[in-house]
Amino acid sequence: MPTSEELKARIEAAIPGSHAEVEDLTGGGDHFRARIVAQAFAGLSRIEQHRRVYDVFGADIGGPIHALSLQTRVEQE
């Protein structure tokens, strides 16, 4: 069962320079919310920013991770 810490680590490893806060919404290890700030999001539309994060998890989304709610933001210098 995935944990918030695991999701945070996977996001931060896959998106260089990103900072993620991940909450397990139910405590059940399957519904998460993540807030991610990254310079890598600069120039990307919201859709593209979210896709970038979803891509980190591939088929785990809809599998072990039933729901991952996202808020993405471009890091300001």
Partner 1 sequence: MTDLSPNQDQSVRQAIESAIAENEVILFMKGTPDDPKCGFSARCVATLQALESPFAAVDILPDPRLRQELSAISNWPTIPQLFVRGELIGGCDIITELYESGELAEVLGVQTPPEAPAMVAPGLDTAAPIEITNRLS
Site of interaction with partner 1 (CB under 8 A)? 25-26, 31, 46-47, 50-51, 54, 61-62, 66-71
Nearer to partner 1, 14 or 61 (CB): 61
Residue 33 CB, nearest approach to partner 1 (Å): 9
Beta strands in the chain (DSSP E): 19-24, 31-38, 67-74
* Neighbour count for residue 72 (Cβ, 10 Å): 21
**Which of residues 59 and 77 has its CB atom nearest to partner 1 in the complex?**
59
Specify the residue, 19 or 50, whose C-beta has the smaller distance to partner 1.
Answer: 50
Q: How many other CB atoms sit within 10 Å of the CB of residue 12? A: 17
Chain centre to alpha carbon of residue 68: 7
Smallest separation, CB 13 to partner 1 (Å): 19
| Shortest Å, Cβ 47 to partner 1 | 6
What's the chain's length in residues? 77
